[in-house]
């Protein structure tokens, strides 16, 4: 913990089903997907620990037991982890309220709440400082994006006070959106009704604002990415590998390629763009792999061309296959010569014979 800082607590929301990332999330919750060589949450743990957070409460629902199997007591991350489980998913607000059972802070203490699917370079300590200085009920991290309609749009006044919380509106009034990191005054969490399905974005924040509570915005322009879609997941992993977002959890130094233990890349193959070659994965002669994530034991055949894709664990990509923006689940077999593009997703265990050939003008 940085010197002179008090011990802080955080709640991490990790109970979502990650439907947009299927089929990757069928067997593995989104926060545990291998990202730049480690489970996604390891990057958030490193960031939390660097901000002086010593105790993390994981709010689990979907495939809850996998989290404790993966992270244990948290000591390996310099944290203490408490697991709180929802028998039925309670939504983001209900999950925060439920997780309060694991907190130790007093009613006036700041509690950091993080969505378990966001990569961010913002300074959590500065967000907490603003929260304290303004004595806010909640302080929200805000970022500007080009397409705010997909997110919660959050206008503020000249003093930084949030004036409305407009969840996924077709006509956003500002490009500033909810970035998924909140600092709550502990007592505000305790006021959320317990045991109910509640969205913090649709209910808790709008209710606080209409009741006149001080909700502050902490705008920031550093790196930010919601990794909820396959394209964003691939981008986030590549950005971490290349060092576009620094992470204390990255295994090794940033570079164009991250090859994990036992990975084998033929010297004539080209692997670049922040690609991860998972443990025991293979890339054969003359293959070209760019900006992709190869899970453990994946295999890329000779002369294949793979870009912007996720290749599941144990999946075999045949010789000369072309993959562009594709998600292949675990243990998929793609026969030589296939060409798969444009957001195609293949469920685990499938075998694709020759489904598509390239036509040329002289064919």
Binding-site ranges for ligand GTP (CB under 6 A): 13-21, 30, 59-61, 86, 89-92, 95, 115-117, 228
CB 345 within 8 A of CB 326: yes
CB 163 within 8 A of CB 209: yes
CB of 102: closest distance to ligand GTP in angstroms? Answer: 12
- Between 111 and 300, whose beta carbon lies closer to ligand GTP? 111
What percent helix, strand, coil does the chain show, rounded to 5? 25, 30, 50
Tell me which residue of 111, 104, 8 sits closest to 50, measured CA to CA: 8
CB of 289: closest distance to ligand GTP in angstroms? Answer: 26
Q: What is the 3-state secondary structure (H, E, C) of 213-247?
A: CCEEEEECCCCEEECCCHHHHHHHHHHHHHCCCCC
- Between 179 and 306, whose beta carbon lies closer to ligand GTP? 179
3-state secondary structure of 291: coil
CB of 51: closest distance to ligand GTP in angstroms? Answer: 18
CB of 293: closest distance to ligand GTP in angstroms? Answer: 17
> Tokens for 349?
């265990």
- Between 35 and 299, whose beta carbon lies closer to ligand GTP? 35
CB 114 within 8 A of CB 11: yes
Cα distance between residue 213 and residue 183, in whole Å: 14
CB of 163: closest distance to ligand GTP in angstroms? Answer: 23
- Between 115 and 235, whose beta carbon lies closer to ligand GTP? 115
- Between 19 and 361, whose beta carbon lies closer to ligand GTP? 19
CB of 99: closest distance to ligand GTP in angstroms? Answer: 7
CB of 124: closest distance to ligand GTP in angstroms? Answer: 16
- Between 166 and 279, whose beta carbon lies closer to ligand GTP? 166
CB 339 within 8 A of CB 352: no
3-state secondary structure of 363: coil
- Between 179 and 298, whose beta carbon lies closer to ligand GTP? 179
Residue nearest to ligand GTP (CB): 16
Cα distance between residue 86 and residue 76, in whole Å: 25
């Amino acid at each position: 913990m940085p010197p002179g800082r008090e011990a802080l607590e955080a709640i991490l929301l990790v109970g979502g089903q990650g439907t947009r990332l299927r089929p990757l999330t069928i067997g593995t919750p989104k926060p545990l997907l291998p990202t730049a060589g480690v489970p996604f949450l390891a990057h958030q743990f490193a960031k939390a620990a660097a901000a002086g957070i010593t105790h993390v409460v994981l709010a689990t629902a979907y495939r809850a037991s996998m989290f404790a199997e993966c992270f244990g007591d948290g000591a390996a991350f310099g944290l203490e982890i408490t697991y709180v489980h929802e028998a039925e998913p309670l939504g983001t607000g209900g999950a925060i309220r439920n997780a309060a059972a694991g907190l130790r802070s007093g009613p006036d203490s700041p509690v950091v709440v993080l969505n378990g699917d966001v990569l961010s370079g913002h300074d959590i300590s500065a967000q907490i400082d603003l929260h304290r200085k303004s004595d806010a009920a909640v302080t929200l991290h805000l970022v500007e994006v080009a397409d705010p309609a997909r997110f919660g749009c959050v206008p503020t006044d000249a003093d930084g006070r949030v004036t409305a919380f407009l969840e996924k509106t077709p006509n956003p009034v500002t490009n500033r959106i909810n970035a998924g990191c909140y600092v709550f005054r502990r007592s505000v969490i305790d006021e959320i009704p317990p045991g109910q399905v509640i969205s913090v974005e649709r209910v808790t924040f709008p209710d606080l604002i209409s009741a006149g509570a001080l909700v502050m915005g902490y705008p920031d322009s550093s790196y930010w990415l919601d990794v909820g879609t396959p394209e964003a997941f691939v981008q986030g992993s590549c950005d971490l590998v290349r060092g576009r977002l620094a992470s204390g959890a990255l295994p090794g130094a940033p570079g164009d390629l991250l090859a994990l233990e036992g990975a084998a890349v033929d010297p004539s193959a080209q692997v670049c763009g922040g690609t991860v070659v998972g443990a025991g994965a293979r890339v054969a002669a003359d293959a070209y792999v760019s900006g992709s994530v190869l899970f453990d034991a994946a295999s890329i055949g000779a002369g294949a061309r793979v870009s912007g894709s996720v290749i599941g664990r144990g999946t075999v990509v045949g010789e000369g296959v072309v993959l562009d923006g594709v998600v292949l689940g675990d243990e998929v077999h793609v026969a030589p010569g296939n060409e798969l593009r444009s957001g195609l997703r293949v469920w685990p265990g499938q075998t694709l014979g020759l489904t598509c050939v390239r036509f040329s003008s002289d064919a």
